[in-house]
Structure 1
């Protein structure tokens, strides 16, 4: 009985640590064995969710984005996209891969066509805002907070490994409304975003925006001024707790 308990504990510990191994931010280095040179893809994993965004290095032109739930057990890896701009038909469909994770390098190979991607981890530590968030409240010009219930149409913001990405989309209609991302810092109530890609306006790349933040009762209260100088106050909730779609 004692040996059985030890075995079960070992299997649970292995599964737990394996599932957490990919959390953080990754950069695409090779595709089908060829080094990626003219584009930059950053992929963020956190709380069972992933998102990636790409841009051309020359001119900072946005290329594509995708994201959704992921599952990792041993070397079996799967993605179920909620949004996917380069091929919307993939939304809601499970894509199976074989995964080879070795420290800070990860190679995933699609089981249906053999396409491979190699990613390198971007080292960074966690902070107050590390997580996958969905917007659930926004103040109007009079300061009144309008509550939202995220469903098919939602805006998420995933932060991990010192990188962030927000995405607005509708998983039911497969509509994509916009995305942006880059690096961030969150310390002592000050949150700063440094934009490295933006789907709506390449000229936004390189901008830095500073905000105030406070995490109260598990919710992220985000305030400051937008890039246009307008005051904003938003409330973000943990995606796993606030998203009601499909439940």
Structure 2
């Protein structure tokens, strides 16, 4: 009987892993490590890990991800704590469960899914300056934004030079043309944690038009495109 149950358990895990390997990891996973929050965001074949306390930013790393039999394979595009890892492929031993991820001693709980139209990986491709819209050409330097299940993170990087220029994120909502952010971490200024920012958001021909005022109070108008590189 124990052998049958063991085989059933292995079969169920195999089915789960196979299903997730087809759609990729997706969602928000959160663990507590003492006072530290350990957060994983996954969408569109991309993953980002962020460490932060309630009012203090820690570090982040991320890049394209894939599931393997042993866990998660990630090609590092940025790592502000260990920039020498940029360009390397890292294999993270992880136990994938329906309710979350087990990585080492940390149990990451999968957060409740909150699917919204902006979920996915975006890259800034346009910005208005002095009433003129300028196109931002694709190159090594880029600013990307990962949104999934009510959480978001933006990251300004240059993987070719192992460059990291800042990040911020937290929780978001998008409905009826209103895009709202609640800041949980900000690498450039911990004092901005807790801020609520209101923007106008609209999807036009698959592009995200984002306007309002920045965390500094400056007016902004940006265009973001789906990042499929």
Partner in structure 1 of residue 184 of structure 2: 196
CA distance in structure 2 between the aligned counterparts of 1:101 and 1:14, rounded to whole angstroms: 7
In structure 2, the residue matched to 1:149 is: 137
How much does 1:117 deviate? 4.3
Report what 1:24 is aligned to: 27
- CA shift at 1:229, angstroms? 2.6
Alignment coverage as a number of residue pairs = 216
Q: Corresponding residue for 2:111?
A: 122
The change in CA–CA distance for 1:135 and 1:229 in structure 2 (over 3 A counts) is same
Q: Which whole-Å CA distance do the structure 1 matches of 2:185 and 2:68 have between them?
A: 32
Between the aligned partners of 1:179 and 1:197, the Cα distance in structure 2 is 8
- Is residue 95 of structure 1 aligned with residue 83 of structure 2? no
Is 1:132 equivalent to 2:125 in the alignment? no
Tell me the distance in 2 between the aligned counterparts of 1:131 and 1:70.
Answer: 14
- Structure showing greater relative contact order (alpha-carbon pairs closer than 8 Å, 6 or more residues apart): 1
Superposition deviation, residue 74 in structure 1: 4.4
Contact 1:71 1:77 in 2 (8 A): yes
Q: CA RMSD in A?
A: 2.1
Query: TM-score, normalized by length of structure 1?
Result: 0.81
C-alpha displacement of 1:51: 1.4
Shift of 1:19: 4.2
CA distance in 2, matches of 1:107, 1:224: 39
Q: Could you say if the C-alpha distance between residues 236 and 12 of structure 1 is closer, same or farther in structure 2, counting changes exceeding 3 Å?
A: farther
Quick check: 1:190–1:211 contact (8 Å CA) kept in 2? yes
Instruction: Give the distance between the partners of 2:102 and 2:53, measured in 1 at CA.
Output: 22
- 1:1-247 correspondence to structure 2 within 5 Å: 15-20=18-23, 22-29=25-32, 36-57=33-54, 60-108=55-103, 117-141=106-130, 143-240=131-228, 243=229
Q: Which residue of 2 aligns with 1:6?
A: none
CA distance in 1, matches of 2:24, 2:78: 24
